[in-house]
Structure 1
């Protein structure tokens, strides 16, 4: 997901000012994607240039608000209607790291797996605590659930790696 599409989704609910967009974006993503306020305003400027948002005047406290345009709604509809392709996701650094550890022949691959397992377990515990403490509603819950499932999948994959390494040794 791009910041651009996240901000468009928030603006589809009505006019918003920059700081409000930042807070709502972070709440919607379970605070797993913190934004710098500069990113928000830079993205809003680009979207305004591209005709996706328009300045909507100021609120009662003088803050500049933005509204989504028809072109912005069309872009958002296109984004929601397009599945995320596996190829569009960043490369899996952990898989590459383990492959390189095996390929070098001089690295204790079991130690690499163990270190990753400990880090993944810590992340899983942190995410589970965050989910229990979450108050951001359904959007936050879905993001945290996704991250928990990914951490659990990483644990299962590490189990598989250890089994393959044991098999190779035997």
Structure 2
């Protein structure tokens, strides 16, 4: 759905060819979510079917020029005003992996967490370096301020997400350590409780032998 509305947003500023839309979408997002040209034209076909865009004069035999319609502008405005639904989260591979690892015998869950944390921190450092370059580019004269800000917003979202994931991994590891400590603390108690029962059984057996003699 974000591609559909992303293309509508680009068309609001003027007619575009499919190849232009692909290039501008990737430019604004820093190619974080690359599009293939087939995906672009499939989406454009659906937008045209729904009456949100239409063909515009000025195209050539090889490429079709597209323009947003009034219905498309209304739909785009509604999308901008509507909060993104977070009540139905997408499947997260890392969360699923840890959930499965906890219940799997012989799996080093802490090892998985530590390996993932190293990767996440490295990715966060890479994003931070890209942010520094983007900030420097935004300060250069003659640049496209709007495009630079758009890319910065995407980068900062990725950095915040990586930071949150690293904190969550810290929390997961701390919880596992605490659980292991609680189990170790409970083990001697269970053993202590077992000793009197064994002693009583021995006494009973001795008493029975004494009675028989």
Match of 1:55, SS state, is: strand
Match of 1:160 in 2: 171
Provide the aligned C-alpha RMSD in A.
1.8
1:35 is aligned to 35
Which of 122, 137, 140 does residue 151 from structure 2 map onto? 140
Q: Which position in structure 2 is the counterpart of 1:13?
A: 13
Q: Deviations over 1:113-150 (max 9, x none)?
A: 01211221121122122222335411111011001000
Q: Which residue of 2 aligns with 1:81?
A: 81
Partner deviation per Cα, 1:9-28 (whole Å, 9 max, x = no partner): 11111111111111110111
TM-score scaled by length of structure 1: 0.92
Cα distance in 2 for partners of 1:25, 1:70 equals 22
Partner SS, residue 87 of structure 2: helix
- Residue 120 of structure 2 corresponds to 120
SS at 1:137 equivalent:
helix
Q: What displacement does 1:52 show?
A: 0.6
2:106 is equivalent to residue 106 of structure 1: yes
Distance in 1 (alpha carbons) for counterparts of 2:91 and 2:54: 35
* 1:98 Cα offset (Å): 0.8
Q: Distance in 1 between matches of 2:14 and 2:168?
A: 43
Cα deviation code 1:78-128 (max 9, x no counterpart): 111111121343122211211111122421001110121122112112212
Higher relative contact order (CA 8 A, sep 6+): 1
User: What is the rounded CA distance, in whole Å, between the counterparts of 2:107 and 2:179 in structure 1?
Assistant: 15
Where structure 1 has 5 or more consecutive residues not aligned to the other structure, the ranges are none
Could you tell me which runs of 5 or more consecutive residues in structure 2 were left unpaired when the two chains were aligned.
138-146, 182-213
Q: Which runs of 4+ in 1 moved over 4 A?
A: 59-63
* Equivalenced residues, count: 170
- How far the C-alpha of 1:60 sits from its partner, in A, is 8.6
1:59 positional shift:
5.2
**Partners of 1:30 and 1:142 in 2: CA distance:** 10
Q: Which has the larger radius of gyration?
A: 2
Deviates more, 1:98-107 or 1:108-117: 98-107
